[in-house]
A and B are shown apart, each in its own frame.
Chain A
Amino acid sequence: MTVEANPTSLPNLPPGPLDASAGPPDATNGKVVIRLSQIAKNYQVGTETVHALRGVDLTIYKGEYVAIMGPSGSGKSTMMNVLGCLDTPSSGRFELNGIDVSDMDDNRLADIRNQEIGFVFQTFNLLARSTALHNVELPLIYAGVNAERRREVAIEAMGQVGLADRMLHKPNEMSGGQRQRVAVARALVNHPSIILADEPTGNLDSKTGEEIMGLFEVLYKKGNTLIVVTHEEDVARHARRLIRIRDGLIASDEIITHKTAVSA
């Protein structure tokens, strides 16, 4: 990933509402990772149909750092589930790396999640009885990587999040920040197309939360595509592009200027 292809390295634009159907205006030379067109998701709750998403169009380019915000009930979680291939849309087309995943069955979606998406959850979701290293190895097990190679790659990922000395600790022997770092290592280990973080600092104190956001900054600089779903402005501010969702539609899509971050 070169710096030139990174949309956020383009001239800064004043923050403000943009055309919701398009990505950042100047990000045309990047490679498209996610393309949503007219994505809708309806749920049946009793006799009532809930329209969680009402026809969302969104394009995210490789190497972008996107924050998705919205109040509860806005369709933010549904959006995250669709982007994470945990759920399929009721209608519309979702292309991930040019492949239409909107109609895939359970097993193929599992493979897509395994190969293309790295999840970071609010509650970490580590296996409590397994070592940190085994937790990181988990996606590789489902990818069918042999034990030796698995170990190698997992150790490397643990190094990337600065936990090379904590590999054989179990989650309950680690602090919250360390646990979330293990989760980040697990998200990285398969070299996914996108890293999808759902309230990654929600269970952390503000200092540790800042540390995790710092780690994300490093990952972003290394060329990873990050999508962070949050309701905290402080967290969202770390991203380079902010998408606000309201009533199942994109209410705003703006570029965030980072004088310090860009110069860093």
Chain B
Amino acid sequence: MRFSSEIKEGISISWMTIRSNKMRTALTTLGIVIGIVTVTLMQTAIEGLNKAFLKSISAIGTDVLYVQRHSWFSDEPWWKVRNRRIITPEHARLVAQQATLASAVAPDAGDFGTVKYNNRSASSVMILGCVADTVTVANLNVIEGRFLSSSEVDGARPVCVLGSELAANFFPHESPIGKKIRIEGIPYEVVGVIGKIGSFLGLFNFDNRVMIPMTRFLGDITHWPNVTITVKVRDIRQMNDAIDELRGIMRKIRRLEPGMPDDFAINQQDAFIKTFNKLGTSIAAAGLIVAGLSLFVGGIGIMNIMFVSVAERTKEIGLRKALGARRRTILLQFLLEAAIICLGGGLLALGIAYPLSWVVDRFLPTSMSFGIVCVALAVSLATGVISGFLPAWRASRLSPVEALRNE
């Protein structure tokens, strides 16, 4: 009972003090506001970055391994890996024969080229040589028609499957199935359309692609393809075993002596996530340092103003003590005042950060989450309590005789 009435009294005193020192309080709060806005926007941006990344990364697939000439993230110097031998579709055939832990193996190779239909033309389209299993390993969603069949791939038929953006651009009002388009000048018949995938970290557009049989790719587009062998692992729990097996098979196929380093790389989504997490941690750390610094400055401002507040109310503190306020009561009163100022600053900061988060949203798909709001308010409250503690503690230790004598 006594505690709760002390809190109520403390809140009403703080409110009166803040109201009668509006300008001073507003200026003091500015530091906290800036700090909390920084914290909030940082958090929002980091969350947005994570979301964007996870959305992009899902296109790579968690249960898929990529055998390629180069590692995605390698510390090895470029001159060491530049002369590696290419990987051929033949390698993929051998891997498919020997791998026991794989449920599907598909080679693919891509190059940029020009695609035409009637008088429409699109350049810089990714032309991808595929096999029938590509639809499985890449987890593609065929929304119209069908994917390339084994016989079409084996027979090098001039057929193709369009990415959704390409299909929409060339055939806005009609079905593309059965239509003839020209890829690098050679006619192909459209047999299917892939559903929208999106872009990878905003860099590469997966929907601006056309898929043709690997056998045709080797003749029509290039004779020296840079093949990626995509391996879908049967059981995700055997990922590491599958990597070991794949490595053994590839070394055997490429006739590497024991002791020689691999001249290929096995990439997986994991590497992306690890790299991103490293990057994300540095970004978050940098953000937190900036936010922490501005909060620190804000906190000093609060501490300063609380010292002033205690000094100019010394006599009042003496009176309250004379009337029976304990040390705890005085401590609580000034802590509450600091906390209310900071909490007010926090709320103001959220009001400012909310519209700013829409601006962030234009670059990164994000929104201010409830969690961020809670963190921002908790941080502002903590700043108030921490920076208010020393002045409040000093006030609580004042001797009533000394304090009452103060004018």
Task: Using CB atoms and an 8 Å cutoff, list the residues of chain A in contact with chain B.
Answer: 81, 84, 86-87, 106-107, 110-111, 113-115, 119, 121, 125, 127, 129-130, 138-139, 141-147, 150, 186, 190
B180 CB within 8 Å of chain A: no
- 10 A-B contacts (beta carbon < 8 Å): A86-B404, A107-B326, A113-B322, A113-B323, A129-B20, A141-B5, A142-B6, A142-B320, A142-B325, A190-B324
In the bound complex, residues from chain A placing their C-beta under 8 Å from that of B2 are: 142-144
- For the complex, give the distance between the alpha carbons of A111 and B3 in Å: 14
Does B201 interact with chain A (Cβ within 8 Å)? Answer: no
Question: What sequence of 0s and 1s flags, for each residue 396-407 of chain B, a beta carbon within 8 Å of any chain A beta carbon?
Answer: 000111001000
Within 8 A of A (CB), among B315-349: 315-316, 319-329
> Whole-angstrom distance between the alpha carbons of A139 and B400 in the complex?
15
Interchain CB contact under 8 A, A139 and B401: no
A111–B326 touching, CB < 8 Å: yes
Tell me whether A125 and B315 are in contact (CB under 8 A).
Answer: yes
Specify which chain A residues have a CB less than 8 angstroms from the CB of B326 in the assembled complex. Answer: 106-107, 110-111, 142
B94 near A: Cβ within 8 Å?
Answer: no
A250 CB to closest chain B CB (Å) equals: 21
Sort chain B's interface into a size bin: 20 to 34
| Nearest 8 CB-CB pairings of A with B | A114-B324, A144-B2, A142-B324, A110-B326, A107-B326, A125-B319, A86-B400, A139-B323
Contact B323 A186 (CB under 8 A): yes
Residues of B within 8 A of A107 (CB): 326-328
A interface majority secondary structure? helix
Q: How far is the CA of A64 from the CA of B362 in the complex (A)?
A: 81
B324:A143 contact, CB within 8 angstroms: yes
Q: Note all chain B residues with C-beta closer than 8 A to A81.
A: 401
**Known contacts A87-B401, A110-B326, A111-B326; A130 and B16 CB within 8 A of each other:** yes
Q: Confirm or deny: B374 has a beta carbon within 8 angstroms of a beta carbon on chain A.
A: no
From the candidates B319, B327, B404, name the one contacting A106 in the complex (CB within 8 A).
B327
Q: A115: which B residues are within 8 A, CB to CB?
A: 324
Which single member of B3, B16, B321 contacts A110 (CB below 8 Å)?
B321
Chain B interface mostly helix, strand, loop or mixed?
Answer: helix
Among A139, A141, A146, A147, chain B packs the most CB atoms within 10 A around the CB of: A141
A residues less than 8 Å from B5 (CB atoms): 141, 144-147, 150
Residue B9 interfacial (CB < 8 Å): yes
In the complex, the answer to whether B404 meets A110 with C-beta atoms within 8 Å is: no
Cα distance A214–B400 when bound, in Å? 29
Task: Tell me which residues across on chain B come within 8 A of A130, comparing CB atoms.
Answer: 16
The reply to whether A111 and B324 contact each other, CB–CB distance below 8 Å, is: yes
Q: Kindly identify which residue among B8, B16, B320, B401 contacts A86, using a CB–CB cutoff of 8 Å.
A: B401
Residue B260, interface by CB 8 Å: no
Q: Is the CB of B16 within 8 A of A84?
A: no
Instruction: With both chains docked as a complex, state the minimum distance between the C-beta of B7 and any C-beta of chain A, in angstroms.
Output: 11
Q: In this assembly, does B1 line the interface, its C-beta being within 8 Å of a C-beta of chain A?
A: yes
The distance from the CB of B407 to the nearest CB of chain A, in whole angstroms, is: 9
B9 proximity list for chain A (CB < 8 A): 141
A145 to B2: give the CA distance in the assembly, Å. 7
Residues of B within 8 A of A113 (CB): 321-324
> A129-B16, A142-B329, A146-B1 are known contacts. Are A119 and B316 too (CB-CB below 8 A)?
no
Instruction: Give A144 to B323 CA distance when docked, in angstroms.
Output: 13
A142–B319 Cα gap in the complex (Å)? 12
Q: CA A204 – CA B5 in complex, angstroms?
A: 34
Compute how far the CA of A115 lies from the CA of B2 in the bound complex, rounded to whole angstroms: 14
Q: Which residues of B contact A86 (CB under 8 A)?
A: 321-322, 400-401, 404
Report whether A84 and B327 are in contact in the complex, using a CB–CB cutoff of 8 Å: no
Flag if A139 contacts B324 (CB, 8 Å).
Answer: yes
Q: For B1, list chain A residues within 8 Å (CB).
A: 144, 146
Chain B residue at minimal CB-CB distance from A117 = B322
Chain B residue with the shortest CB-CB distance to A129:
B16
- Give the Cβ gap from B273 to chain A, nearest Cβ, in Å: 57
Which residues of chain B are within 8 angstroms of A146 by Cβ–Cβ distance? 1, 5
- Docked complex Cα distance between A127 and B323 (Å): 12
Chain A residues near B319 (CB-CB < 8 A): 121, 125, 127
Q: Which residues of B contact A84 (CB under 8 A)?
A: 322
List which B367-407 residues lie within 8 A (CB) of chain A: 399-401, 404
